Amino acid sequence: MIMDMSVKGGRFKCIVTGEEKYFTPNSLQKKIDKFGSIEAFERFYVCKPAIKLLKKGISIDDIRKQLNSSATHNVNIEVLFKLKLFKKKKKGTVLSPEELRAQQEQTRENERKYYEHKEKMSSCVKTWVEWATGGPNKCQVPYGGTCIRPDLYYDNDESCGDCPYYEHCLCANKNK
């Protein structure tokens, strides 16, 4: 890196929040090396708090509210894509708040259905244990089933020990 001696420090505004930050001559030179010119850096500068929130998938308006910014100017989304602050959705990426709420609601609904089903079957322990260890219509049995008390199984050197469900369990690894 060759230091351009004519570079002086300066203040630059974040394109998202409008927050100003001072850059020393050394740090500004690094930014010029990265972006190509002071003008390019000025067009692309985003402050660190805004970067973190953008990577989490939070909208620009919500970022401005969280960071108490009074900025109202429009931000060119293409600039943020070039900076790789918006990522294409892949499996396991951050969900939008709406998607997260929908997923949480679906999880709550699934839990509710499970506990309702368990409640109905509690009168008949055998039916419930077979359903819990072998799956609906015993679909898990060919794959070994599922232990419903692994805490007892692993605490007793991989034996079912005092499991109250041993008699009706369909799990392939059950042993006394």
- The residue among 126, 168, 127 whose CA lies nearest residue 147 is 168
* pLDDT at position 117: 76
Q: Concatenated DSSP letters for 61-110? A: HHHHHHTT--------HHHHHHTT-S----TTPPPPHHHHHHHHHHHHHH
> Tell me, what DSSP letter sits at residue 14?
-
The phi and psi torsions of 95 (rounded to 5 degrees) equal -90, 155
Query: Lowest-confidence range among 21-30, 44-53, 107-116?
Result: 107-116
Q: Can you tell me the mean pLDDT for 73-77?
A: 75
Q: How confident is residue 130, by pLDDT bands cut at 50, 70 and 90?
A: confident
Per-residue pLDDT band at 106 (split at 50, 70, 90): confident
Quote the pLDDT of residue 1.
Answer: 40
Confidence of residue 2 (pLDDT cuts 50, 70, 90): very low
CA–CA dist 15, 73 (Å, integer):
9
Does the structure show a pLDDT above 60 at 89? no
| Mean pLDDT, range 77-88, rounded to an integer | 70
CA dihedral 143, 148, 151, 156 (to 10 degrees): -70
Residue 3 pLDDT greater than 50, yes or no: no
The rounded Cα 83 to chain-centroid distance in angstroms is: 21
**pLDDT grade, residue 122 (50/70/90)?**
low
pLDDT of residue 6: 64
- In this prediction, residue 158 carries a pLDDT of 72
Contact 165, 129 (CB under 8 A): yes
CA dist., res. 28 & res. 18, Å (int): 18
